[in-house]
Amino acid sequence: MAASLSIGEFSRLTHLSVKTLRYYHDIGLMLPASVDPATGYRRYTTGQIDTALLIRRLRDIDMPLAELRSVLDTADDNTRAAAIVGYLDRMERRLVDAQHAVRSLRDLVLDGTRAITIEYRTTIATPSIARIAVVQRDDITPWCAETYPLLYGALGLAQAAPIGPGGALYDADFFEAGEGQVVAFVPLSAEAQAVPAGLDRFEVPAATLAVATHVGPFEELDRTYGLLGRSVIDRSLATTGSIREYYLMSPGDTDDPAQFRTEVCWPIHHQPGEEP
């Protein structure tokens, strides 16, 4: 019943180029139904159109060939559908992220004049409740989304009130190696009750800091980091130590990322104008 087609005919019906079909044959992704042993001519059947169209659809949305291969190798329809839907989910998230990146860049370009103000501050050690973990840069958003409700939830249960805005310490490795220790903390008076399992007492160390307040979504923090880092280095104030952020207005307070206010704190060895 299924008729036989030359590679050119099959190409026209599937909108996969002849070169692409030959390449898929070479790598074993999609084999012709038969190959003439004398001439090497490839023959496809109409029954292969479905598969070819699926491949084209998935390639159109950039599924890597390795993943496509494992999808095609999946015989069971439900398992295969689940694998595809899993990819679609990931893809949709990436598209949304890309849209945010486009919009944020548009804001930056159309309003590139926003300067930052930098203040200098020496903090004292602060008792707090904290969650400490080694986190990858790419995982920081979900980790925070999970951690802060946990911390504030624990305070609620203990009927204790925070004595300042929550924040986090980021190990230098976190930025430099893409993975490092992160301490998410909420300041709390030392007399407050015992902390639940999984959370720790932690004393946020005293520090001398250059501080810039970032207004807007977390994805745009890079600009504030860039300007703050530049200022610190230009003034030869840089020292080792953790980068610190304080979340003055965050997802716990508002749903609108444009309203977020984040203090970015860069460790310095002395305040400008003071004795080193």
Partner DNA sequence: TTGCTCCTCACGTCACGTGAGGTGGC
Q: Summarize as ranges the residues that interact with DNA (CB under 7 A).
A: 6-9, 11, 17-20, 22-23, 36, 38-42, 59, 64-66
| Residue 140 found at the interface with a copy of itself (CB under 8 A) | no
What tokens were used for 80? 């295969």
With CB under 8 A as the contact rule, which of the stretches 1-9, 123-131, 150-158, 179-187 interacts with a copy of itself?
Answer: 1-9
8 Å CB contact between 166 and 250:
yes
Give the number of C-alpha atoms closer than 13 A to the C-alpha of residue 153, restricted to the C-beta side: 11
The gap from C-alpha 195 to its chain's centroid, in whole angstroms, comes to: 30
Query: Binders of a copy of itself among 108-127, rule CB under 8 A?
Result: 108-110, 112
Binding mask 54-93 for a copy of itself (x = CB under 8 A): --xxx-xx---------------x---x--xx--x--xx-
Element (H, E) at 119: strand 118-123
Binding region for a copy of itself (CB under 8 A) out of 95-103, 121-129, 187-195, 203-211: 95-103
Stretch that binds a copy of itself, among 47-55, 153-161, 248-256, 261-269 (CB under 8 A): 47-55
Residue among 27, 31, 98, 133 that touches a copy of itself (CB under 8 A): 98
Work out what residue 22 binds among DNA, a copy of itself, none; the CB cut-off runs from 5 to 8 Å by kind.
Answer: DNA
Q: Which does 60 bind (CB under 5 to 8 A by kind): DNA, a copy of itself, none?
A: a copy of itself
Joined together, the tokens standing for residue 181 give 């220790």
Contacts with a copy of itself, 170-209, as mask; x by CB under 8 A: -----xx---------------------------------
Number of residues that bind a copy of itself (CB under 8 A): 47
Q: Are 2 and 45 in contact (CB under 8 A)?
A: yes
State which residue, 3 or 66, has the beta carbon closest to a copy of itself. 3
Per-residue burial over 255-266, b = 16 or more CB atoms within 10 Å of its CB, e = otherwise: eeeeebbbbbbb
Choosing from 36, 146, 222, 253, the residue that interacts with a copy of itself (CB under 8 A) is: 222
HEC assignment per residue over 33-82: CEECCCCCCEEEEHHHHHHHHHHHHHHHCCCCHHHHHHHHHCCCHHHHHH
Rounded CA-CA distance 61/76 in Å is 23
- Residue with Cβ nearer a copy of itself (108 or 157): 108
Which stretches of 75-220 are DSSP H helices? 77-110, 140-157, 172-176
Is the sign of the CA dihedral 217, 221, 222, 228 positive or negative? positive
Among 231, 215, 222, which residue's Cα sits nearest to residue 119?
Answer: 231
Minimum CB separation of residue 62 from DNA in Å reads 8
User: How far is residue 130's CA from residue 148's CA, in Å, rounded to a whole number?
Assistant: 9
Contact between 169 and 246 under an 8 Å Cβ cutoff? The reply is no
Segment near a copy of itself (CB under 8 A), from 19-27, 100-108, 162-170, 197-205?
100-108
20 interface partner picked from a copy of itself, DNA, none, CB below 5 to 8 A per type = DNA
